[in-house]
Structures are given as structure tokens and as C-alpha cells.
Amino acid sequence: MSEIRNNILNESYQLVKTDCGLQIACYNMPGYNAVHAVFATNFGSVDRSFIMNGEKYDIPAGVAHFLEHKMFENEDGDAFDKYAKTGANANAFTSFDKTCYIFTATDRVDESLDILLNFVTTPYFTPQTVEKEQGIIGQEIKMYDDSANWRMLFGVLEGLFVNHTVRDDIAGTVESIAQITDKMLYDCAKAFYSPSQMLLSVAGNITLDTVLAACDRAGFKYETLEVERLYTEEPDEINYTEKSINMPVSVPLIAVGFKEKMSNPVTIREELCGEIIMDVLTGATSKLFNKLYDRNIVNGTFEGEVFCGTDYYATIISGETAYPDVLLKEIEMAIDELKKEGINEEDFFTSKNSMYGSMIVDFENVEEVATSIANSHFKGRTVYTALETLSAITLEDVNSQLQTMFRPDKRTVFTVMPMEGKDD
């Protein structure tokens, strides 16, 4: 067992690796009523090729998300029905790089932990249940296909990335999920849902002994596996510079994305410096946003973000606008001006202090703490790494990174325009 401490907060949490390889993080928060648990695997939508015990597996887009849906259904019933009896609020989600099964509870936490640890490690699939789920998720995919914001996000990602699977929808396509079989799901569960591939992160009014007792009751069955993820090499080039589609929207949407060249793996310093840069450039107090807002070129949907993972990094500026050409020109000029003049000290400290304050506040929320532990753990960091790194970042660090970003030849512009001849 190791205790991970932060002197700024004067807080700590415990990290334990059990005999079966499962890692447990327990962040005891006395005085809080709730407990939030995250049972996470480092298996997300980008993981499409791997070697397990010497055998290579290639899987279609959407398997991680499909598996997340199916894990709730076991031979002895649906996990949600069991949670209903304990009063826990349960859910799950699949992201690009992980899958998390979660619950929040104020009572009968032991029972909810038993449910969580049991159903996530006891896969049950048949050809019939897979076929049924293909229809359900197929409808979900079609629903997202009708979302202009969703189409815009993956449109700009498809433009920025040539080979990287981050360009593919997390849920896959109707065609890709049609290839999923029960054997494929069992193979992926074996590879990525074994205890040695997982983390149980728990925060709130709970002790490590309580969590360890639940793991003992679970009696995990496991075997030693060698799993290696395989990734397609991504060139520095982009896939396309611009693309536009028509959808039934009342106001056009535009996303301007830049493919950034960072370390591999991306460092937390690069991520945080990028977030400061994007906040100064496009945030609510930025010169660009207020200028555009005052001229009614943008509304509250305008935003800039850092979109990154272990081996990809992009910056995306997006929003609704009746004047996409004007907005694009204004973004270009704002970037040129910022790179020429650099970020000034006042803007730097305003952004940094705001981020720092938000991070501190997050440590007062059991859900944020447990989730942040999972997010950081699979990247080889602690939950305190971001806070500690941010405190040490200087204006020089940020301006140095700024000069490497927003390369004009690595830019994709994706627009969603209203249907021609329609006012809706």
C-alpha cells in the first residue's frame, strides 16, 4: 500500500495493488454523506487492435461502447434492477480511452460495491442478446447522426486525423457494430476486464478496509495475460482542410481544428499550457469572444478546447454563427495577433488562477475526486499531478508552447449549414 499525499491541500489517498492485480484507490473524505465508486478499465473506443497471449485481434469501431452496454446484463438479471434495491444511482460511460462503471450512494454502500464488482467481472453474452443490442445501439447511433454538434465534432476530427481511431465515433456505425459477435465481446472482456487491467476508485465517506472487504467477497477469478495494444501510425499531415454538410439547423455551426505536434505520450504540462492558451484566446473574458459577442457574430455556444489523449493532441474552436466566413477570419487574426504579441502577464495569471481555483473546488466533490483518480491513473499520474504541475507553470512555458501551435497547414474547418431552401 502507498499513501499519496498533497501538501497544498494537506490531503492524501491510499493506493493498493491486490494479489489478483486489481488496483484500488480510496480517498476517504470524512464529513461527506455520499460515496462515489468508479470501476474502470483502460479500454476505450480508440483501442481497436491488440495482441493477447501472442494472438492478434482486430475489432470494429464501437466494441468498447457495445461491451459497456452488455456488461449490465448477467444470467441472474439486470444490474440496474439490483441497484434499485440498494438505492444507489448507477451508470456507465465509454470514452476514447477508457470505460467506467459508476455509482453514487449514501446508504448500503457494501451491497452496491458487491453489485458493481460482480457484474463488471462476470460477462454474459449470447448471439441472441448481441443481436438485440445491435438494434438498440443502432438506434442510438442514428440519434447522434441527427445531432449537428456531434456531426461537427467528428467532422473536424475526421479532417484532422488520417489514421488515428479517435476520428471514429465512440459508438461506431450501424455497419461496424453489425460485425460484433458474442465471441468478440468475450475476447475483449478477457483482455481488458481482468483485474490486472482495472482500477477501483472510491471517494467519500468510506474506508480502505471496507473496499478491500468487498474485493475479498468478490473472489475475482483471473488468469495471467499478456496484452499489448497496437496503434496505427499517424502522420503529421491532416486528412482534409475543409468540409461542409447540410442539416436542419436554423444557424450555421463551425469548428476550426488544429492538429498540434506534442510529445508522445502527451505530457500534463502540454495539456495545461494548451488549456491556458485556449482560455486566453477564446474564453469568456477574452478579447476575441467579447468582440465577436458584441457584434452578434457569436453567442454563448462559442468555445475553445484542448482535445488530447496519450498520442493525439488537437485544439478546436467552435460555435454557432450566422457569419461563418467572418468568424473564421476573426479567429485567424486573433491567433496571429496572440502569437505575435504573446500572452501578457495579467491574462496568464487570470487564467491560471481561475483553473487553479476550479481544481481546488473539485476536491470537495466525491464524484469529481473518484473520476479524476481514474482519469489520471491510467496516464501514470496521481490525482494531484495536474494541480502540482499547474502551480509550477510559468508565463514563459505557455508562450513557448504557443509558438508551436495553430499551424495554418494543419488546420481543418468543418461547417454545418442549414438545409437549402428551408428556414428551419
Q: Can you list the domains of the chain with their CATH numbers?
A: 2-229 (3.30.830.10), 242-418 (3.30.830.10)
Contact at 8 Å (CB) between 218 and 390?
no
Q: State yes or no: is 242 an active-site residue.
A: no
Give the pLDDT confidence of 168-220 residue by residue, as tens digits. 999 999 999 999 999 999 999 999 999 999 999 999 999 999 999 999 999 88
What percentage of residues in the chain have a pLDDT greater than 70?
99
Q: Determine how many CB atoms are found less than 10 A away from the CB of residue 294.
A: 9
Q: Give the HSE-up count for residue 135: Cα atoms under 13 Å, Cβ half-sphere.
A: 5
Nearest by Cα to 101 from 74, 69, 144: 69
> Which stretch of DSSP H or E encloses residue 15?
strand 11-17
Is a pLDDT exceeding 80 seen at residue 104?
A: yes
Please give the backbone phi and psi of residue 319, each rounded to the nearest 5 degrees, phi first: 160, 175
Instruction: Report the pLDDT value the prediction gives residue 424, as an integer from 0 to 100.
Output: 40
Give me the catalytic one of 3, 11, 68, 330: 68
Place of cell 437549402: 420
Give the pLDDT confidence of 245-287 residue by residue, as tens digits. 999 999 999 999 999 999 999 999 999 999 999 999 999 999 9
Give the pLDDT confidence of 113-152 residue by residue, as tens digits. 999 999 999 999 999 999 999 999 999 999 999 999 999 9
Going by the DSSP 8-state scheme, the letter that residue 108 receives in this structure is -
Length of the chain: 424
- For residue 274, the one-letter residue type is G
Give the pLDDT confidence of 319-356 residue by residue, as tens digits. 999 999 999 999 999 999 999 999 999 999 999 999 99
Instruction: Report the pLDDT value the prediction gives residue 350, as an integer from 0 to 100.
Output: 98
Give the pLDDT confidence of 19-73 residue by residue, as tens digits. 889 999 999 999 999 999 999 999 999 999 999 999 999 999 999 999 999 999 9
pTM over 0.85: yes
Q: Nearest 10 degrees: CA dihedral of 147, 151, 153, 159?
A: 180
Nearest by Cα to 375 from 42, 85, 23: 42
Q: What b/e sequence results for 73-85 when a residue is b if at least 16 CB atoms lie within 10 Å of its CB, and e otherwise?
A: bbeeeebeebbee
Once rounded to an integer, what is the mean pLDDT over residues 157-172? 98
Is a pLDDT exceeding 70 seen at residue 422?
A: no
Is a pLDDT exceeding 90 seen at residue 224?
A: no
Instruction: Report the pLDDT value the prediction gives residue 421, as an integer from 0 to 100.
Output: 57
- For residue 130, the one-letter residue type is V
Confidence of residue 221 (pLDDT cuts 50, 70, 90): confident
Give the pLDDT confidence of 364-401 residue by residue, as tens digits. 999 999 999 999 999 999 999 999 999 999 999 999 99
Measured between alpha carbons, how far apart are the two ends of the chain, in Å? 60
